[in-house]
Amino acid sequence: MFDGLKEKLGSFREDVEEEVEEKEADADAAADAEAAESADDEAEPSTPAAAPERESSDEDGEKPGRLRQAAAMATGRVIIEEDDLEEPLWSLEMALLESDVEMSVAEEILDSVREKLIGESRKQVDTTAELVEDALHDALVEVISVGQFDFEQRVAEAEKPVTVVFTGVNGVGKTTSIAKMSEWLGERGYSSVLANGDTYRAGANEQIQKHAENVGRKLISHEQGGDPAAVIYDGVEYAEANDVDVVLGDTAGRLHTSNDLMTQLEKIHRVVDPEMTLFVDEAVAGQDAVERAKEFNDAAEIDGTVLTKADADSSGGAAISIAHVTGKPVLFLGTGQGYEDLQEFDPEELVEDLLSE
């Protein structure tokens, strides 16, 4: 998962190491040259008859800088300077954009890495790779963790039944994600009922009914063309009457520009007042998923995102970018075809995996 991005982050680490190693080699050469020059001076007669003054050269102007580098090496410290990062940071920016990381998010990561590394002393107990990894870790966690909350804790603390509504565009795995969520909740001791608020699409009832049967859950549904808010409200009433913990409400796939469908979503919120509205999209959609998440959040205010097909995504741009762009977290990743293949999103765990060898 996200192997392409992982490889590109590793390349940045190697690029910075190469730049610093070149600096070390220059510092060693400068120190050797200075030592040889001092030895030559000591070997000369102490009272020469007439020694012409040596003309200054451009190299003399560079000597203090070289000596400072040599002194840094002698004390086991190397200072990372802006010039050392110029080319590696440019390459990192291109790598992030190629991995579908949104532009403002890429810039935030670059600024953070630059701030954390420039002027940093590499001591004998550190390696350049460790310094770079720490800077990347902090920068990535910072942008990925925006708005993060514990989904299970929120379910546990909310008044029952908890209503969670799923929304997004057509064909991204929304209905399958609802069935997976039902299984995920069941593994943690929470009962759930499915409510099919997708009364717009032909065949929607049959699709979600099959999923409900497969995971052994009750489905509340109306005829095609019915009121989506009424269906989910009936799901809430069923949950209250039968001590069910969570109502998982499906809705018709829509674009944020579909005024009639967005009006339906607004009515669901008025009638049912869900605890959470989750936006569902495909991780492989990259920046398209990021833009849609932003548009849905602007139109209907989501609480978090579920990214499907994360196991097929080598770029990771959507997972990296959505929280920073919307201010709402990625909460779950779909990682396979099975109903058990729903993974709670952990920013720290993701970043550690991206930076591991």
SS3 label, residue 307: strand
245 labelled as ligand-binding?
no
290 labelled as ligand-binding?
no
For residue 204, give the nearest of 223, 232, 187, 229 by alpha carbon: 223
CA dist 42 and 88 (Å) reads 43
214 labelled as ligand-binding?
no
54 labelled as ligand-binding?
no
277 labelled as ligand-binding?
no
257 labelled as ligand-binding?
no
111 labelled as ligand-binding?
no
172 labelled as ligand-binding?
yes
Asked if 305 contacts 330 with a C-beta cutoff of 8 angstroms, the reply is yes
270 labelled as ligand-binding?
no
Structure tokens at 132: 């770079």
Buried b (16+ CB within 10 A) or exposed e, 282-318: bbbbbbebbbbbbebbebbebbbbbbbbbbebebbbb
Structure tokens at 122: 């590499």
170 labelled as ligand-binding?
yes
146 labelled as ligand-binding?
no
One-letter identity of residue 67: L
175 labelled as ligand-binding?
yes
Chain center to CA of 290: 11
252 labelled as ligand-binding?
yes
Half-sphere exposure of 243 (CA within 13 A, CB side): 1
Ordered alpha helix ranges (H), 125-250: 128-144, 151-157, 174-187, 204-215, 228-241
168 labelled as ligand-binding?
yes
Structure tokens at 58: 């451009």
Backbone angle region of 253, left / alpha / beta, with phi > 0 → left and psi within -120 to 50 → alpha: beta
State the residue for tokens 């929607």: 204
Known binding positions for GTP:
168-175, 250-254, 308-311
Known binding positions:
168-175, 250-254, 308-311
